[in-house]
Structure 1
Amino acid sequence: MRAQGVSVSLATLSYWQSGRSRPERRESMTAVELLEGVLELPAGRLIASLGPPRRRGRWLSTVPVSPEVAAFWPRPDAVEDAVSEVDIRWDERLTRISQHDRVFVSADGGERSYHSRQVLRAEADGPDRWVVIMHLDEHDRPLPTIRPLRHCRLGRTVLRPADGLLVAELMFDRPLRKGETVITEHELENSAPYPPADNYERKFRLPVREFVLEICFDPARLPVSCVRYSRLDAADEIAQQVEPSGSVHGVALNFGPGRYGFRWDWQK
């Protein structure tokens, strides 16, 4: 498969085989077609076994077949490999009701810290954790420190400094029952010198009913321009210029799968 320009990690193949995720992107479907040849199966055999494509929409309370774990990340194989070391079996059984991210940018233009508050609802008995995936663009900088703040504690943590990746389990106070909700808060704090910050985005593998994103700039230094953008699944990006100030924010309702964020310029 590599000889034909297609690379799929062992973790991804394992997820497809177990049903934890399914191939849906164009590259993934190409890989499945090549697998049919490698396994000497009739053309279309594996693709037919996938069943109908997942439902689309602005909001789905449940997504029967979700995008791959690393579908929206720049290096999917590295993310999937790191995620394979934690337990994500409950991810699709947790409805994202509300999420509020606050990003704090220092006077030198670096990302100082990040705070997240979210409300989740269990769609089955048993969910006991939330998995955080964080990626640094600057791989030569130390990974941030993750701190549970409310109704969670730190479980397994995977650090991949060479890939700029941190993956961590946030364990709830106890397993949830079906229909039960939980409010969790955690923060990620970088050490100085802070990694340069000119953008921030949240990737949603599954839909969220309400997402609020705030970027808080130090009053001593404000960007000269700022853009709020969003992109649903494979759709075109939607971008809007916003007035730079001490803080900017955006609100998305019934959003995802996709990505939502801000990017800004420090100089004209």
Structure 2
Amino acid sequence: MVGHATETAEEFAETLRAAIRAKGLSLDRIRHRLQMRGAPISITALSYWQSGRRRPERPDSLLALGHLEDVLDLPEGALSQLLGPPRPRGRGRVRPPTPQVQGAGRDNVRLAQLLAGVDTSSDTGLSRVSQQDRVEIGADGGTRRLRSRHTLRADRSGVDRWVLVYDTDAPGNPLPSVGMLRSCRLGRLIADPTSGILVAELLFPKPLRQGETLVLEYELLQDEAPYPALETSHFRRFRLPVREYSLEVRFDSRCLPARCERFSTPDLEQGTEIEVDEWGYAFATSRDFGPGIFGIRWEWVLS
């Protein structure tokens, strides 16, 4: 199995190098085109991938492969199918297999289709003053609950809703239920288990006036089997800037990770290690962030 993994890794690097040569693009141009598609990957990471020194393993990197195939005019799956199972990091440390992401390009199309079914006109009229996410990981390593709190300011009068988009990264599994906690009620909800995406309108009590501020809270509950498999990260993708973002992940005491790190754009491959405290919490925050991706990822020790 080790020999097979090495062979597929070398084949991935060779295929990527050949595609880059055939396309005639510099790594900087490729990086720019991926950035424009909302899939930021650093020049360093691209260089490592084509040299074979590293391969895409992070969820964000795997999601970007579909876009990279498009940029290089490769058939869908030409690169992603060459990746074997994730490599273990350290003695006894393993990352669970990452879900297949060959449909990453189609997922973006599907998301656009789902968003067409709700009213997104208020989105650009709201400033993100602060956003807080609290994630609960169960004893089996799967996400059980996500609780979010948003402080929003109206940049124009008449904005009346927040559009929630949630991607389980596990197509086919049950989607979470949506609970309203503060200053909102559920409007249109579109759930597509096949793609693993949920879109919902959270309606404000009344339209906001320009300059008015609203604190919005909701939660997503994973209360139907089969539950998600071992999670290895949680991140939020920001299309617009946020003044302050905080992310808190609470692990069940029966299932603590071996290590945690925070990560963000522009270089998603590089992370900063953070501690899990004695109560099982990992915490990260950022100011004046976005557009981009910010999150926490972790590794498990499996017995």
Task: Flag whether TM exceeds 0.5 (same fold).
Answer: yes
Q: Measure the CA separation in 2 of the matches of 1:113 and 1:194.
A: 11
1:236 matched residue in structure 2: 267
Say whether the 8 Å CA contact 1:204–1:257 is kept in structure 2. Answer: yes
1:256 aligns with 2:267: no
Q: Measure the CA separation in 1 of the matches of 2:162 and 2:172.
A: 27
2:195 matched residue in structure 1: 163
Runs of 5+ in structure 2 lacking a partner?
A: 1-34, 39-103
**What per-residue deviation string (whole Å, max 9, x for no partner) do you get for residues 225-246 of structure 1?**
1111011xxx323411122340
| 1:77 aligned counterpart, secondary structure | helix
Deviation at 1:265, TM superposition (A): 1.1
1:115 matched residue in structure 2: 147
2:261 matched residue in structure 1: 227
State which of 226, 234, 243 in structure 2 corresponds to 1:209.
243
1:30-179 superposed matches below 5 A: 75-179=107-211
Q: What amino acid is the match of 1:226?
A: C
**What per-residue deviation string (whole Å, max 9, x for no partner) do you get for residues 61-113 of structure 1?**
xxxxxxxxxxx998311111111100001101100001110000001101001
Deviation at 1:194, TM superposition (A): 2.3
Q: Measure the CA separation in 1 of the matches of 2:273 and 2:36.
A: 30
Q: What amino acid is the match of 1:100?
A: Q
- Normalising by structure 2, what TM-score? 0.62
Runs of 5+ in structure 1 lacking a partner?
A: 1-23, 28-71
1:199 matched residue in structure 2: 233
| 1:266 aligned counterpart, secondary structure | strand
Deviation at 1:26, TM superposition (A): 6.3
Alpha carbons of 1:199 and 1:96: their partners in 2 closer, same or farther (altered >3 Å)? same
Structure 1 residue runs of 4 or more that deviate by more than 3 Å after TM superposition: none
**What per-residue deviation string (whole Å, max 9, x for no partner) do you get for residues 150-189 of structure 1?**
0100000011110001000000000000000000100000
| 1:210 aligned counterpart, secondary structure | strand
Alpha carbons of 1:221 and 1:26: their partners in 2 closer, same or farther (altered >3 Å)? closer
Q: What amino acid is the match of 1:236?
A: D
Q: Where is the strand percentage greater, Structure 1 or Structure 2? A: 1
- Normalising by structure 1, what TM-score? 0.70
Instruction: State percent identity of aligned pairs.
Output: 43
Q: Measure the CA separation in 1 of the matches of 2:149 and 2:139.
A: 24
Q: Measure the CA separation in 1 of the matches of 2:105 and 2:164.
A: 13
Q: Measure the CA separation in 2 of the matches of 1:26 and 1:105.
A: 31
Say whether the 8 Å CA contact 2:274–2:283 is kept in structure 1. Answer: no
Alpha carbons of 1:251 and 1:74: their partners in 2 closer, same or farther (altered >3 Å)? farther
Equivalences, count: 198
| 1:162 aligned counterpart, secondary structure | coil
Alpha carbons of 1:26 and 1:77: their partners in 2 closer, same or farther (altered >3 Å)? closer
Q: Where is the helix percentage greater, Structure 1 or Structure 2? A: 2
| 1:254 aligned counterpart, secondary structure | strand
Q: Measure the CA separation in 2 of the matches of 1:252 and 1:236.
A: 15
| 1:154 aligned counterpart, secondary structure | strand
- Give the RMSD, CA atoms, in angstroms: 1.9
Say whether the 8 Å CA contact 1:224–1:244 is kept in structure 2. Answer: no
1:25 matched residue in structure 2: 36
